[in-house]
Structure 1
Amino acid sequence: VFGPLSDAIGREGIMRITLLLAGGLSLALAFAPTFESLLFLRLLQGFVLGGLPAVAIAWMGDEFDKTALLSAVGLYIGANSLGGISGRIVGGGAAAIGGPSAAFLAVGAMTVVGCIIFWRLLPNSQAFTPQRFQLRQAVGDLLGHLRSPVLLAAYFLGGINFLIFINQYSYITFRLADAPYQLAASGLGLIFLTYLGGTFGSTVSGKLAGRFSPARCISAGIVILMLGTAITLADSLALIILGLTINAFGFFMAHSLASSWVGRYAQGARGSASALYLVFYYLGASIGGFWLEPFWRWTQWQGVAIGSWLLLCVTLAIGVGLWRFERRAANT
């Protein structure tokens, strides 16, 4: 919805309004009288939250040249990882003190403050060209992106990588909550500090891509994710944490470059193209548990590692395919 709409009316207003609504809904969640109303508000919040990421990379694709776009998206994804860490730590700490309502209030207040800063600092678009919104045209743009092998490859790559990365955190908590580690809930929450590896990975991704090419670095990120998964098989808690940190570095490097790849190679309607990337991205997260659960039942974490490697081999093959496309494009 937000991607095609932004192609017609502009990016800035959608980003500002949806971010403000997300913060307001988080505050409202603290006062939800029933579980049903809480679910409804969360549904609305999930909808409006899609407005910023669906449009932000398209906005950068409009405003930055191809070289600067790599670094800009890397910094944006790095900030996302910091937001994920902050939300879990602040929300978890507030929940420990005042329960779920306090967590919603704390995260909502953070979001509103961030929205005010964002509202003041976001510059007006200089390169955006609006196109008249027509449903048939919007559907045609979406289908056109899906017919593009270069974009479709990036969509599947981002979705499958996130399928593995985010659901590994779900299953590693089962492992670390059990003997011999027996980490408490507070300790398990701190595992998400390993996202800092992703902050670094996404931040340096643009510089690395400028030196070695985006597709090479996407493939390298997947290999690093496979290596980190191997390290988590160790019995040492320190090595498990190291493996998760390496995983985050590799995943976020590949993710930031795949995101910028979409903005770089979309032939018009960048908002729609970026929105489709997010559809595949979050669809992967939602079905990852179904993929990894049989492997967990089979041999627990060792099975999860095997299930992860199987799909990462697929995304590595996609990354190599993008690398070949990149080489052909450079020679023409």
Structure 2
Amino acid sequence: MALGLVYFVFLPSMLTTPLAGRVARRFGPASGIVLTLGIAIAGLLALLTPNLPIVLAGMALIAIGTFLAQAITTGHVSRVAARDKAAASGIYLASYYSGGLVGSFVLGQVYDRLGWTTCVIVLVAALIAATIIARPLTAPRV
């Protein structure tokens, strides 16, 4: 039961995710995603400490950053899909979950072979790659 309390790190992300629209409007989709994934990267780096409160705070930052980035991305996909929003959303979700499946397999192998620090480095590299991919995104013209 005590281990289940770790899910409380998701509480801040549940409170902040509704702000994704404001973040996207204020900064644009590209900058909003880069900013929120930067929050997640800061959280990942906190996982390298042996201090439990810092690790828990890091986990909360990861959840906040990734949930915000995912919400901004989902909203962006639905706004820019010209003709078939349902198909665009479906392709996005299939990519999202396929990436999670492959990523969890790869990270499991990295952790087993190279340890926790390398696993965190790989995750940071993946989020940096995501920020690079997001940079060309532009807000749709109204």
Q: Give the aligned partner of residue 18 of structure 2.
A: 203
Letter in 1 for 2:78: G
Equivalent of 2:67 in 232, 239, 252 = 252
Q: Give the aligned partner of residue 101 of structure 2.
A: 286
Give the greater-gyration-radius structure (CA): 1
Report which structure shows greater RCO (CA 8 Å, sep ≥6): 2
Cα distance between partner residues in 2 of 1:315 and 1:269: 25
Matched, 1:311 2:123: no
Which residues in structure 2 correspond to 1:51-200 (within 5 Å)?
Answer: 186-200=1-15
- Following superposition, the deviation at residue 188 of structure 1 comes to 2.3
Matched, 1:301 2:88: no
- Following superposition, the deviation at residue 295 of structure 1 comes to 2.2
Contact 1:201–1:248 (CA<8 Å) still a contact in 2? Answer: no
Letter in 2 for 1:269: D
Q: What value does the CA root-mean-square deviation take over the aligned residues?
A: 1.7
Letter in 2 for 1:241: L
Matched, 1:271 2:51: no
Letter in 1 for 2:28: S
- Following superposition, the deviation at residue 309 of structure 1 comes to 1.3
Instruction: Pick closer, same or farther for the CA change 1:191–1:294 going to 2, 3 Å.
Output: same
Letter in 1 for 2:103: G
Letter in 1 for 2:68: M
Letter in 2 for 1:268: R
Contact 1:201–1:250 (CA<8 Å) still a contact in 2? Answer: no
Matched, 1:227 2:42: yes
> What SS is found at the alignment partner of 1:321?
coil
Aligned identity (percent) is 27
- Following superposition, the deviation at residue 302 of structure 1 comes to 0.9
Pairs aligned (count): 141
Cα distance between partner residues in 1 of 2:16 and 2:55: 18
> What SS is found at the alignment partner of 1:213?
helix
Which runs of structure 1 show a deviation greater than 6 angstroms over 4 or more consecutive aligned residues? none
Q: Give the aligned partner of residue 51 of structure 2.
A: 236
**TM-score using structure 2 length:** 0.90
Equivalent of 2:136 in 321, 328, 331 = 321
Q: Structure 2, unaligned stretches of length 5 or more? A: none
Letter in 1 for 2:10: Y
**TM-score using structure 1 length:** 0.40
Q: Structure 1, unaligned stretches of length 5 or more? A: 1-185
Cα distance between partner residues in 1 of 2:18 and 2:113: 37
Cα distance between partner residues in 2 of 1:309 and 1:291: 14
- Following superposition, the deviation at residue 217 of structure 1 comes to 0.8
Letter in 1 for 2:115: Q
Contact 1:295–1:306 (CA<8 Å) still a contact in 2? Answer: no
